[in-house]
Structure 1
Amino acid sequence: MRLDQIFLFLTIALTGTVYVVLFGNILSVLAIIVLLVLFLKDLQHGINRNSLLTYIVITLSLGFFLTLHYLLVPFENDSLPYITFYLRSAFIGLFLVYIKSKNINLINLLHPVLKVIAIHALIAFILSFIVGNFLFNITTSNIYTNSFIYLFFYNSSFDLFGITFYRNQGIFWEPGILQIYMNILFFISSFIFKNRKLQVLSVFLIFTTYSTTGIGILLLQFVVILFSKNTSIVQKLIILSSLAIVTLPLFIFNYQSKLKDSATANTEVTSSVLRIYDFVEGVNLTIRYPITGLGLSEKTYQRVKNNENSILNGYSQEFIDNIFDRRSSNSIMYFLSRFGMLFSFFWFYYLFKQRIVINKKWLFFVIIILANFSEPLIMAPFFILIVCSGLYESFRFTNSQTLPLIKYVK
């Protein structure tokens, strides 16, 4: 891998992998070191002035807004999440300056990185039938999973015909995150690079996650591909019916297995119930605090959420405790309820305007939104990179003069 691909891989590693929970600080420092080496090694001949001025303006503007938001939120607030979010955005911005100065297309970096992740996930799936007795437990306040030599991770499993099947999660803390990246890989392989082998591989890996959200997003892409072809309506209906026949049993089996797990645990809480609650509660909090939101203090968020739990009337105390003893899984509604509608509209607008992919931009936007409706990742580095790619492209100065970087380093 090239250094720029390694940095991109590290942004993904900091967005949903087990490693970010276990070694987050080390990964962050490593990403910063790689970024600095990129600048000092590859940009000795100069830096694009347009990109540098854009970076300065956007970074200062973002810092001003986050400071203003911190001060205006009518609740007890916490400065550390603001600083973390700002620093992530600033370092991602530096990487985009590098990309622009080197005239590199981000999609050409992302495609091979996702391919490596897919190959690892394929190996993880194959090994899952062999290493079941050699797994050790990893438990922290944020995750619970099992691992084989810290390279392959497994958690959820079910038995079928006497065989134990583990839901494939690759290097991520749950299968629902692996399906996001595999759906992105399928999108890139279908609409940009036309790589049939990677299409088939990504489809297979999405099914090995047994994620209803992942399979649903994949079906949406199939429908778009189908209706973009010059075939008759009858042929399209036949293909759609075939897809429904194949996938419907998987949805039913997945739902029933979750209900079975719920009954075994003697609790009413399933992932589908949690996601419905997170969506409804996020809408409720956004409506109540539409301008500034609640701010980024986790204590304030939990306190306000606990005080406004009328939608849980009639449920058992065990159910309510399980609901509250966790962060929101819906990062779209989480973002809206934390920042309010104004900044959220700005952020999601530039998510749509992203410049990583151009063809079928609307579909890529839908994939990212649907994926983040079920995972708390919208403020993580990889998704910040997607948003900033649109933001930095929209605010450009006309002067593209190259400035000597070494002059400023010395």
Structure 2
Amino acid sequence: MKVNKRILSLFLIFMQSCGISFFQGQGWFLMLLLLVINIQNIKNVNIKYLKKTPYFLFFFFALVILKSMFYDYTWVLYMFLVFFATSVFLLNYRNDTTLFFDDLYKFLTILFFYSLGHILVNVLFQSSLITTDLGMKPKTFIYLFYFNRVEFFPGFYRVQGLAWEPGNWQLFLNLYFLMSVFKKERLFKLGLIGLCIISTFSTNGYILLTLNVFNLIIYSKRKFIILPIVGLVSFLLFPLVLSNIQEKFSGDKMLSGLARSRDLYIGAALIKDSPFLGVNVLKINSIPIVKEVKSNTFFSVADQNQYSAYDGFISDGYLNGFLEVFLLWGLFFGLLLYYFFYKSPLFLTKSFAFSFCIISFLSFTAEPITQTSFFYLFPLSTLLFGKRGLYSADAHAINA
């Protein structure tokens, strides 16, 4: 059976962006493999476009020169590899950017069925799960199905699939729900996707699922059927959703919600302090104001029973991926990247682009996955295929 090169490439991008860490140097390996698989795209490029390449690369190298004052060259080389490999992959769509929607949908369909398998495993083989030594130490069943290591409630673990955290897995399931709404898929299928999202027990996932349900109501022509069903399901699930949200602000899982507010304060303070060049995100914990904000945030809420978690709370990395873009590139270039993300010709319509961005950006606020190939897919596609992009003459996106 012939493997679809573009679908395989999307899998590599997913694993580099938020996949479980199976071995040291996984990110380098995946990006090199992405480049090798798609290297033929460079050979097929018209020579007239290659003459424009220096102008395209200037944007990146100008930023690299600025950021080299903060980062070592290993990081610079890695980010260049991410930019370059992602750009070479995008050349698959230079003649028809609408193909990306179909490819992404096919890839997410695979993740959807894989996620359904996790639910069955959780019900039938929960006692057979073992803890692994992989990144974040997830539990697994025969090393094919992966769950968060902490039991969410008796008899059930949070589904995380091949992502290193359930919050990342829910993002791709919610994007699949959104794309299925725009493709006018059956309510039964949408319900199964919703079930997969619920099985992640992600607060962000629930919020984004709610937004997706509003999309379903807005774009569906069968509102008289959908509204009663949505109302009934919402009534049944409301206690579960409410309990999950409350635990973020009180109880055993309170520190998870506290970390979100902590990173919001830190991000705002650092952007205010260094709005143009940003900061070294890799060494963010060594910045004095960060230590101060973390300590003040912890002791303002935590009780004595939680003091043992202080060291972990202080040493924890920065989790707000949305603000991390501004910390990494500065306020101006950060806004420019988000603008390019929204204007991506990979989106079929403006309404779809808006919904896709809302779901992605809200998810980024809790997941540090904006220094990845998946994130840069969209702004890079604007630089390549936008109205004034490098390959704009070849692109035939539908931006209606």
TM-score grouping bracket, smaller chain normalisation? 0.7 to 0.9
CA distance 1:228–1:378, shift in 2 (3 Å)? same
Q: Does 1:23 align with 2:23?
A: yes
Q: Does 1:200 align with 2:176?
A: no
1:118, CA displacement in angstroms?
Answer: 1.2
Question: Is this contact kept in 1: 2:56–2:390, CA < 8 A?
Answer: no
Larger RCO, structures 1/2 (Cα 8 Å, 6+ apart): 1
Match of 1:127 among 99, 121, 129: 121
Alignment of 1:317-396 (within 5 A): 318=308, 320-359=310-349, 360=351, 361-394=353-386, 395-396=388-389
- 5+ long unaligned stretches in structure 2: 395-400
Question: Is this contact kept in 2: 1:306–1:324, CA < 8 A?
Answer: yes
CA distance 1:69–1:34, shift in 2 (3 Å)? closer
- CA distance in structure 2 between the partners assigned to 1:314 and 1:103 by the alignment: 51
Cα offsets for 1:266-291 (capped at 9, x unmatched): xx753211111111221121112111
Which residue pairs with 1:279 in the alignment?
264
Which residue pairs with 2:397 in the alignment?
none
1:366, CA displacement in angstroms?
Answer: 0.6
Q: Which moved more, 1:374-383 or 1:387-396?
A: 387-396
CA distance 1:51–1:383, shift in 2 (3 Å)? farther
CA distance 1:135–1:247, shift in 2 (3 Å)? closer
- CA distance in structure 1 between the partners assigned to 2:133 and 2:392 by the alignment: 52
Question: Is this contact kept in 2: 1:135–1:147, CA < 8 A?
Answer: yes
- CA distance in structure 2 between the partners assigned to 1:137 and 1:11 by the alignment: 26
Matched position secondary structure for 2:124: coil
- TM (norm. structure 1) is 0.82
Alignment of 1:6-17 (within 5 A): 6-17=8-19
- CA distance in structure 1 between the partners assigned to 2:214 and 2:361 by the alignment: 18
Which residue pairs with 1:405 in the alignment?
none
Which residue pairs with 1:251 in the alignment?
241
Q: Which moved more, 1:353-362 or 1:368-377?
A: 353-362
Identity %: 20
- Which amino acid counterpart does residue 362 of structure 2 have in structure 1? L
- CA distance in structure 2 between the partners assigned to 1:167 and 1:272 by the alignment: 17
Question: Is this contact kept in 1: 2:94–2:385, CA < 8 A?
Answer: no
Which residue pairs with 2:163 in the alignment?
172
Which residue pairs with 1:265 in the alignment?
none
Query: What CA RMSD, in Å, does the superposition of the two structures yield over aligned residues?
Result: 3.2
CA distance 1:306–1:313, shift in 2 (3 Å)? same
- CA distance in structure 2 between the partners assigned to 1:388 and 1:281 by the alignment: 28
Alignment of 1:104-253 (within 5 A): 105-139=99-133, 143-155=136-148, 156-159=150-153, 164-192=155-183, 194=185, 198-229=189-220, 242=232, 244-253=234-243
Matched position secondary structure for 2:132: strand
Q: Which moved more, 1:178-187 or 1:313-322?
A: 313-322
Cα offsets for 1:10-31 (capped at 9, x unmatched): 101112121xx22363564355
Question: Is this contact kept in 2: 1:295–1:339, CA < 8 A?
Answer: no
- CA distance in structure 2 between the partners assigned to 1:29 and 1:313 by the alignment: 38
Which residue pairs with 2:283 in the alignment?
298
Matched position secondary structure for 1:127: helix
Q: Which moved more, 1:388-397 or 1:372-381?
A: 388-397
CA distance 1:94–1:157, shift in 2 (3 Å)? same
- CA distance in structure 1 between the partners assigned to 2:326 and 2:30 by the alignment: 31
Question: Is this contact kept in 2: 1:49–1:400, CA < 8 A?
Answer: no
Cα offsets for 1:140-170 (capped at 9, x unmatched): 6x5132122322111232445xxx0121111
Question: Is this contact kept in 1: 2:19–2:163, CA < 8 A?
Answer: yes
- 5+ long unaligned stretches in structure 1: 263-267, 402-410
Matched position secondary structure for 2:368: coil
- CA distance in structure 1 between the partners assigned to 2:165 and 2:294 by the alignment: 28
- CA distance in structure 2 between the partners assigned to 1:167 and 1:254 by the alignment: 12
Cα offsets for 1:114-146 (capped at 9, x unmatched): 111111111122112333333332346x51321
- Which amino acid counterpart does residue 175 of structure 1 have in structure 2? P
CA distance 1:113–1:340, shift in 2 (3 Å)? same
